[in-house]
Amino acid sequence: YVIYVNGIEVSRDNMPGGTINYTTQASTGLGGSAETTPVSFDLSVCSGILVEGNNTIAVEMHQNSGGSSDLGFDLELVGNAGGATGTPSLTRGPYLQVGSETGMTFRWRTNTICYGQVKVGLSNGSYLTASADESCPTTEHIVRVNGLTADTKYFYQIGATDGTILQGDANNFFRTNPLENTTRKIRIVAFGDCGRGDVSRQEDNLNNYQSYLSANGIDAPDAWLLLGDNAYYQGTDAQYTTNFFDIYGSTILKNHKLYPAPGNHDYANSSSNKASRSMPYHQNFSVPQNGEAGGVASNHQNFYSYNVGNIHFISIDSYGTESDGTSIQTSGSSLLKTWIDADLAANTSKWTVAYWHHPPYTKGSHNSDSEGDLVNIRNNFIGYLEARGVDMIICGHTHVYERGYLIKNYTGNWSSFSGANAVSMSSGKYTSSSDCPYVYNSTPANHGTVYVVEGSTGASGGTNSGFASGPMPFAVNDGGVFYFEVEDNRLDAKMLRRNGTIFDQFTIIKDANKTTNYNIANGSSQILTASWPKTGNYTWTNTSGTTRSVSVTPPANTTTNYSVTDEYGCVTDQFSVTTSILLPV
């Protein structure tokens, strides 16, 4: 159906995007309980659509096929006056959106309309830092709090302006994003295909992930990425409730800042919906599309960018099409690429990570050799991103875990992969001298990219011939989540398998293996610092010490060489210190 109020479309369900006419068919056929399950939406008087006096409601119904034998229709309009419908209670949330250095958006749903309120403070139970009230009563609450301090942990309470408290305890907290120049450790987690409705798998992965956080003294990561297919199978609001919000609502949704990307099931797995921007996915999530969290404003809800410390993220829609008819699959120029050009030209972050749903390389439950959308993404988009310095690309869709070498310029079929396509054939696990990390400089930009597929957080699937080989040899057909940490110029990533083990790990270090020259006066000291962080001891030559920085006082009137390396000899910095009576001018 499509519903109009006073000539303005206010709701659309099970219909494609774009212009609707009398020949447009419904996206899918409905049967069983779906025929009698109501679909509801809010139309606030604050929207400006409802007017004083008479209002006209028009509804158009569409069949899925011309030969359909039945049609059902029932419409109810319920008017609620704010504060007249009893005490509100939570039916969804709260959850955290559009996290930035100085602000946070809070979303939740109530059973009846009210004026929502958020209070924020530095300790649980004391919410004195900031507050914000809604100006219009609703059941779908979206409240923004600004003016916060970067990289600061806050507690929050949600409720209503009449004094009703809906939630606020020790688990209702968040940390504002760190500044771009931070060198502290930043933690990120990615869930792929987490809304399948396989509750046991979802809960196994959730429990194992939470156990990992607890064992490592982590209250929450700095960002939670959703890789698409966040609610199966048609991505309806009811499926979002059952398969996503009910699964995570009592735990991590309260304190994980969420940055989603859509998948095909978020578009009801229907190509007729590709142009729609009114799917439940678009209604349920708020994203930093206006540049409020860093990056260039996309002004599109389905693709956007943001910064978390020194990491620049790009979230991309790999299923939808844009107003110019292009998509991620399009060769040549496109609306998406025009925005990415501007965004990455302005990007000054040390790290760049892109994520979306459909993977360019997979032999899991999908096959990137034979499926046209995956082939098109590989041929028309991957080289474009690699040339612009993207360090890592994370996808879902295929219900396994897969990870590749550091590769570039590889667009062929699986069997054509060879060492010539890899910048490094190391496993990157960083556990021995034969498993060194991937080390490269930020420039030139086409330094290679690590590709990760994590589509098994909530869904299981089979494999195709070639699985765990070729460009993606580090692979397992089991559930898990993808977790990584960035500290300064070092990235460490892990696949947290649902059985409690770490299946895979790899490390990337940027702008290391450096040579630095110093000129100092005789008798002076010089601080030497390794260019990369690590846990444990550093090995220095020509001086004592095992820490990242050491102080040296070399002999007079000479040049003394020093070096520092890791325990495996994988990363080494060289220093040359020249002493003289007078420093050169």
How many structural domains does the chain have? 4
8-22, 102-116, 240-254, range with the lowest pLDDT: 8-22
201 lies in the same domain as 345: yes
Determine the average pLDDT of the residues in 522-548: 96
Q: What is the pLDDT of residue 95?
A: 99
147 lies in the same domain as 214: no
73 lies in the same domain as 96: no
Q: What is the pLDDT of residue 511?
A: 98
98 part of a folded domain: yes
180 part of a folded domain: no
352 lies in the same domain as 470: yes
- Rounded to whole angstroms, the Cα distance separating 143 from 93 reads 13
547 part of a folded domain: yes
pLDDT digits (tens, 9 = 90+) for 365-402: 999 999 999 999 999 999 999 999 999 999 999 999 99
* CATH number of the domain where residue 347 is located: 3.60.21.10
45-49, 99-103, 425-429, range with the lowest pLDDT: 45-49
Helices (H), 357-504: 372-377, 383-386
Determine the average pLDDT of the residues in 482-497: 99
67 lies in the same domain as 128: no
324 lies in the same domain as 391: yes
* DSSP secondary structure, 330-376, as one string: -SS--HHHHHHHHHHHS---SEEEEE-SS-SS--SSS-TTT-HHHHH
φ/ψ region of 324 (left if φ > 0, alpha if ψ in -120 to 50, else beta) reads: alpha
Determine the average pLDDT of the residues in 452-457: 98
309 part of a folded domain: yes
239 lies in the same domain as 358: yes
User: End of a domain among 55, 79, 103?
Assistant: 79
Rg of the chain over Cα atoms, rounded to whole angstroms, equals 27
181 part of a folded domain: no
- Rounded to whole angstroms, the Cα distance separating 305 from 455 reads 22
| Mean of all residue pLDDT scores within the chain | 95
Q: Which residues have CB under 8 Å from 151's CB, separation 6+?
A: 101, 175, 176, 177, 178, 179, 182, 184
584: pLDDT strictly greater than 90: no
Domain, as residue range, for 548: 515-580
494: pLDDT strictly greater than 80: yes
Q: Of 94 and 581, which is predicted with more confidence?
A: 94
Q: Of 237 and 21, which is predicted with more confidence?
A: 237
Q: What is the pLDDT of residue 585?
A: 62
Q: What is the pLDDT of residue 45?
A: 66
User: End of a domain among 143, 175, 207?
Assistant: 175
51-55, 125-129, 395-399, 494-498, range with the lowest pLDDT: 51-55
User: End of a domain among 457, 485, 510?
Assistant: 510
- Rounded to whole angstroms, the Cα distance separating 274 from 356 reads 15
Determine the average pLDDT of the residues in 152-160: 99
332: pLDDT strictly greater than 90: yes
84 part of a folded domain: no
Q: What is the pLDDT of residue 209?
A: 99
Closest to 409 (Cα-Cα) out of 385, 443, 431, 393: 385
Q: How confident is the model at residue 438 (pLDDT cuts 50, 70, 90)?
A: very high
379 lies in the same domain as 427: yes
262 lies in the same domain as 339: yes
The three state secondary structure string of 184-239 is CEEEEEEECCCCCCCHHHHHHHHHHHHHHHHHCCCCCCCEEEECCCCCCCCCCHHH
82: pLDDT strictly greater than 70: no
130 part of a folded domain: yes
164 part of a folded domain: yes
225 lies in the same domain as 293: yes
- Rounded to whole angstroms, the Cα distance separating 312 from 310 reads 7
279 lies in the same domain as 261: yes
* CATH number of the domain where residue 114 is located: 2.60.40.10
Q: How confident is the model at residue 84 (pLDDT cuts 50, 70, 90)?
A: very low
- Residue 167 is encoded by which pair of tokens? 């939630």
504 lies in the same domain as 519: no
